[in-house]
Amino acid sequence: MDVEKLKQMLEAKGIRPTFQRIKILEYLLTQKETHPTADEIYEVIHSQMPTLAKATVYNTLNTFVRHGIASVLMISGEEARYDPVVEPHPHFFCVKCKRVFNIQSAPIDDKCLNLKEIEGNKIFEVHVYFRGICKECLKKSS
């Protein structure tokens, strides 16, 4: 992706567009479906940029989340996963292959996912996920 555009995305949120941050954002944007962990992100970028420290990856991802550029998924006690899509949407977590993927057809309406208040409590985020075994793993084991 165009580096200029990435820079602008960061600056638009008041984040200084350093080389590391641009790289991490770029990688994240190529991974809208896979919800990579901090470690995966570190491994991929570190291989092209051996000076990158893992702490920088964590710091950067936290910065992104705080500024609304990414969202973090905490599923079933697994490692945190990062998603460049910040709109709430349901996920499926496969306990066999550990993949996390989006579910398009969950019988939950947007009204619920975008609730801002419930029983007097103020809502920041609505998290919905299904835990089970994915189609592919079901096939393999049968």
Partner DNA sequence: ATGGATGCAAAGTGTTTGCAGCCAG
Partner DNA sequence: CTGGCTGCAAACACTTTGCATCCAT
Quickly count: other Cβ atoms within 10 Å of residue 84's Cβ. Answer: 17
39 interacts with DNA by CB under 7 A = yes
Query: How far is residue 124's CA from residue 108's CA, in Å, rounded to a whole number?
Result: 18
DSSP state of 79: -
Six token digits for residue 122:
């103020």
Closest distance of CB 85 from DNA, Å: 18
Judged by beta carbon distances under 5 to 8 A according to partner kind, the member of DNA, a copy of itself, none in contact with residue 108 is: a copy of itself
Judged by beta carbon distances under 5 to 8 A according to partner kind, the member of DNA, a copy of itself, none in contact with residue 86 is: none
Among 21, 35, 89, 91, binds DNA (CB under 7 A): 21
CB 41 within 8 A of CB 32: no
Query: How far is residue 71's CA from residue 68's CA, in Å, rounded to a whole number?
Result: 7
Among 47, 51, 104, 105, binds DNA (CB under 7 A): 51
CB 113 within 8 A of CB 128: yes
Identify which of 67, 39, 44, 69 has the alpha carbon closest to the alpha carbon of residue 55: 39
Site string for DNA, 71-110 (x = CB under 7 A): ------x-xx------------------------------
Query: How far is residue 81's CA from residue 75's CA, in Å, rounded to a whole number?
Result: 8
Site string for a copy of itself, 110-139 (x = CB under 8 A): -xx--x--xxxxxxxxxxxxxxxxxx--x-
* Site residues, DNA (CB under 7 A): 15-16, 18-21, 37-39, 49, 51-56, 58-60, 62, 77, 79-80
* Site residues, a copy of itself (CB under 8 A): 72, 74-77, 80, 92, 94-95, 103-109, 111-112, 115, 118-135, 138
